[in-house]
Chain A
Amino acid sequence: MTTLLSAQNVSKELMARFPDMVVESSGSAVLVKSQALLEVAAFLKATPGLDLDYLTLMTVVDYLDYFEVVYLLTSLQHNHSLTLKTRLFDRDNPSLASVVGLWKGADYQEREVYDMFGIKFVGHPNLKRLFLWEGFQGYPMRKDYL
Chain B
Amino acid sequence: MGSEKPAVPYSSVDLDWAEGHTIESLKAESTQPIPDPVAWIDEEIKRNVLVSSVDYVIDWARRSSMFPAGFGLACCAMEMVATGTARFDLSRFGMEVFRASPRQADLMIVSGTVTWKMAPSVKLIYEQMAEPKWVLAMGSCAISGGTFREYYSVVPGVNRIIPVDIYVPGCPPRPDALLDGIIKLHHKVSKISIAKRH
Segment 143-167 of B: residues with Cβ below 8 Å from A: 152-153
Interface string of B3-26 (1 = CB under 8 A from A): 000111111110011011101100
Segment 109-146 of A: residues with Cβ below 8 Å from B: 128-129, 131-138, 140, 145-146
Q: Chain A residues with Cβ under 8 A from B152's Cβ?
A: 136, 138, 140, 145-146
Most buried by A among B9, B12, B23, B152: B152
Most buried by A among B10, B11, B21: B10
> Contacts A128-B16, A129-B16; is A134 near B9 (CB within 8 Å)?
yes
Main secondary structure of the interface of B (DSSP, over half): loop
Segment 19-67 of B: residues with Cβ below 8 Å from A: 19-21, 23-24
Residue pair A137, B116 in contact (C-beta under 8 Å): no
Residue pair A134, B20 in contact (C-beta under 8 Å): yes
Segment 37-93 of A: residues with Cβ below 8 Å from B: none
Interface size, chain B (Cβ < 8 Å): 19
B186 CB–A CB distance under 8 Å: no
Q: Min CB distance, A130 to chain B, in Å?
A: 10
B117 CB–A CB distance under 8 Å: yes
Q: A135 to B8: give the CA distance in the assembly, Å.
A: 6
Pick from B12, B21, B153: contact of A135, CB below 8 A: B21
Q: A136 to B24: give the CA distance in the assembly, Å.
A: 8
Residue pair A134, B153 in contact (C-beta under 8 Å): no
Chain B positions within 8 Å of A, measured between CB atoms, are 6-13, 16-17, 19-21, 23-24, 116-117, 152-153
Can you list 27 A-B pairs, Cβ within 8 angstroms, ordered by A? A128-B10, A128-B11, A128-B12, A128-B16, A129-B10, A129-B16, A131-B117, A132-B117, A132-B153, A133-B16, A133-B19, A133-B23, A133-B116, A133-B117, A134-B6, A134-B9, A134-B10, A134-B16, A134-B17, A134-B19, A135-B7, A135-B23, A136-B20, A136-B152, A137-B7, A140-B152, A145-B152
